[in-house]
Amino acid sequence: MDIKEIKSKFPIFTNKVKGKKLVYLDSANSSQKPKVVIDRISNFYSKEFSNVGRSMHSLAVTATNRFEETRDLIKNFINAKFREEIIFTKNATEGINLVATTYGEKFIQDKDEIIITELEHHANYVPWHFLRKRKGAVIKFAECDKQGEVSINSIKQLITNKTKLIAVTHVSNVTGTIMPLSKIIDLAKTKKIPVLIDGCQGAPHIKLDMQKLDCDFYVMSCHKMYGPTGVGILYAKKKWLDELPPYQGGGGMIDEVKKNDISFPESPTKFEAGTLQTAEIVGFAESIRFIENIGIKNITQHEKEITEYGLEKLKKNNSVSIIGDPKERGAIISFTIKGIHPHDIATILDDDGVAIRAGHHCCQILHEKMGIPATARASLGIYNSKEDIDILNESINKCNKVFNN
Amino acid sequence: MDLKELYQEIILDHGKNPRNKKKCDGFNKDAKGNNPLCGDKIHVFLKLNDEKHVEDISFEGEGCAISIASASIMTEIIKGKDFNVAKKILENFINMLKEGSKPSINSLSDNENTTIMSLSGVKQFPMRVKCATLAWHTFLHAAEDNKKVVNTEK
Ligand SMILES: Cc1ncc(COP(=O)(O)O)c(C=O)c1O
């Protein structure tokens, strides 16, 4: 695989940052966009745009077809059984809120329990907290250990006959831990508990197969998948989508509207109220094609190689402590430097054109558990190379110089 | 934009060896401040007498070099000043970071002026201005008995 050539497809890398070459190590936050995706959105607006599914004119037919094509591509990309199982949202956060609201409305009663983990992003905690406030649900946290792993046992011991949902991340956005999803889903199935997976850090890097994984819900954010902002995907098993009430109300999601009652169509229409991000959804089709042209397994392999190189390099750097040591790790390395706060690290790295993220990464529960208020995080995409890691490492050494350590 | 202007010796020194980082004896006012995006937390303790004179000021907290240095510098400069003067210094300081204006405060000694000016480089790093102003806003809340936690993202 020619990474230089792949990287050349991303216009952002032709720009300089503070006169330096951009070393982008913040893809877990959001990935950069290839030219095909940017061009597709622009072309769609120039040549094919109109609103989807509402008018009879030919432009509307084209736009609707393009829009629905993306749904089919996603269905195949994640190997869902039915295209109706793919719901467009504005991001992963909205996907989780949709489930928390509608599933919560129908199935959660006072004292019912929801299991999440200490690794979760706030997006997979706060929506459940709302349910705790609204319905009296109880949230239980499966513990993570020093390595950043959540064992199957720590989940198992929390299950009771009141457990109504298990919601876990696919890959931790701090420690990079790849969760043992199959084990968790198998365990949940024996107790008939539905499982939601926050796939934000999984979908861009790991081959997905919904029929094999057999989870009930899986959410993604397209902007982390070389796609546009403003689009997310909720995969949900059809049986749930048939059973759950609508989420938001408005145009496009109704069947029949009368003064005394309203009926609703089936999924996905039922869950897609109002005009969606038409151009972005059309553009996302190109992101999937981009990923598939490279091959998701090749992406996993390349990122694994760079991650391992990064771990090796940073472990040799005495001033650096790496956060967590999971057996299975995605393309994420979080670290601290002795005596230098992560914000200061980020500012100094930025001076070298190295873009990382510093802070709690929307995981305050995890940072509290580890007893550190903030970490610095380098996260990878398909465009990163070993050279990027070398520049990162040099820049870390510069932090020590600036601070006279 | 020069890193050396941001991380001047004075700042590194205050960041590593912050002054007045404790609960000061006999404080009668306090306030908390958060920077939720970054996780910086600060707690300012103030001993203000009946004449509104700052008899003592201190802080506790966690944060980056800029936020800790700024808090430390603030306590050094504000201690022993009348509240009205302190407020004027604060306004000048914030204007310096936001608009780049030079602080023109007659009541500061040359030494104090040099110290406070060491934070002027922060202006060139817009993402870091909040780190530098957190302690100062929190001081104001304490002095004015504002019970709300300062939140840089509000
Ligand atoms: C694990 C995880 N979950 C959820 C999110 C939220 O994604 P979004 O803000 O796109 O909804 C993120 C993104 O930072 C994430 O890393």
Q: What is the tens place of the pLDDT at every residue in A270-323?
A: 999 999 999 999 999 999 999 999 999 999 999 999 999 999 999 999 999 999
Which pairs count as long-range contacts for A315-323, CB under 8 Å and 24+ apart, including other chains? A317/A393, A317/A396, A317/A397, A319/A396, A319/A399, A319/A400, A319/A405, A320/A396, A323/A148, A323/A174, A323/A175, A323/A370, A323/A372, A323/A375
Report how far apart, in Å, the C-alpha atoms of A172 and of each of A100, A333, A362 are.
Answer: 20, 11, 11
Q: Where are the domains of chain B?
A: 3-143
Token pair of B118, please? 């060491």
Q: Is the shortest distance between the CB of A93 and ligand 1 below 6 Å?
A: yes
Fold of A3-27+295-402: Aspartate Aminotransferase, domain 1 (3.90.1150)
Beta strands B29-35 and B150-151 are parallel
pLDDT per position as a tens digit, B1-40: 588 889 999 999 999 999 999 999 999 999 999 987 777 8
Shortest CA distance to B135 belongs to which of B85, B63, B79, B81? Answer: B63
Residue A363 at interface with chain B, using a CB cutoff of 8 Å? no
| Candidate from A118, A119, A221, A332 with most ligand 1 atoms within 8 A of CB, to mutate | A221
Q: B133 pLDDT exceeds 70?
A: yes
Known catalytic membership, residue A362 = yes
Mean predicted confidence (pLDDT) in A380-402 = 97
In a mutagenesis test of the B interface, which of A17, A29, A341, A345 is the best target, namely the one with the most B β-carbons within 10 Å? A341
Continuous H helices in A270-331: 278-294, 296-316
Report how far apart, in Å, the C-alpha atoms of B126 and of each of A40, A171, A261, B122 are.
Answer: 34, 32, 53, 7
pLDDT band at residue B103 using 50, 70 and 90 as cut-offs: low
DSSP state of B122: G
Q: What percent of chain A has pLDDT over 70?
A: 100
Continuous H helices in B17-143: 65-78, 83-99, 110-117, 129-143
Shortest CA distance to B57 belongs to which of B32, B23, B88, B89? Answer: B23
Chain B residues with CB-CB distance to A367 below 8 A: 39
Q: Could you check whether the bond before residue A34 is cis, i.e. omega within 30 degrees of 0?
A: no
pLDDT band at residue A340 using 50, 70 and 90 as cut-offs: very high
Q: Mean pLDDT score of chain A, rounded to an integer?
A: 96
Beta strands A163-169 and A195-198 are parallel
**What are the φ/ψ torsions at residue A338 (nearest 5 degrees)?**
-55, 125
Residue B143 at interface with chain A, using a CB cutoff of 8 Å? no
3-state secondary structure of A214: coil
Longest dimension (CA), chain B: 45
ipTM: 0.87
For residue A116, the surrounding DSSP H or E stretch is strand A113-117
Q: Looking at the partner chain, which of B12, B37, B128 has a beta carbon nearest the beta carbon of A359?
A: B37
Q: What is the pLDDT of residue A43?
A: 97
CATH code for the domain defined by B3-143: 3.90.1010.10
Mean predicted confidence (pLDDT) in A199-218 = 98
Q: A243 pLDDT exceeds 60?
A: yes
In a mutagenesis test of the A interface, which of B4, B7, B124 is the best target, namely the one with the most A β-carbons within 10 Å? B7
pLDDT per position as a tens digit, A251-285: 989 999 999 999 999 999 999 999 999 999 999 99
3-state secondary structure of B74: helix
Q: What is the pLDDT of residue A248?
A: 96
Question: Rounded to an integer, what distance in angstroms lies between the CA atom of residue A289 and that of residue A273?
Answer: 27
A215, A362, A363, A399: which one is catalytic?
A362
Exposure b/e, A269-308, CB count within 10 A at least 16 = b: bbbbbeebbbbbbbbbbbbbbbbeebebeebeebbeebbe
Shortest CA distance to A202 belongs to which of A332, A323, A94? Answer: A332
Question: Rounded to an integer, what distance in angstroms lies between the CA atom of residue A76 and that of residue A293?
Answer: 14
Question: Does the distance separating the beta carbons of A339 and B39 come in below 8 Å?
Answer: no
CA closest to B8 among chain A residues = A402
How many CB atoms lie under 10 A from the CB of residue A227? 30
CB A163 within 8 A of CB A139: no
Q: A209 CA to middle of ligand 1, Å?
A: 20
3-state secondary structure of A365: helix
Mean predicted confidence (pLDDT) in A107-129 = 98
pTM for the predicted model, two decimal places: 0.93
Q: Where are the domains of chain A?
A: 3-27+295-402, 38-293
pLDDT per position as a tens digit, B48-95: 999 999 999 999 999 999 999 999 999 999 999 999 999 999 999 999
Residue A369 at interface with chain B, using a CB cutoff of 8 Å? no
CATH code for the domain defined by A38-293: 3.40.640.10
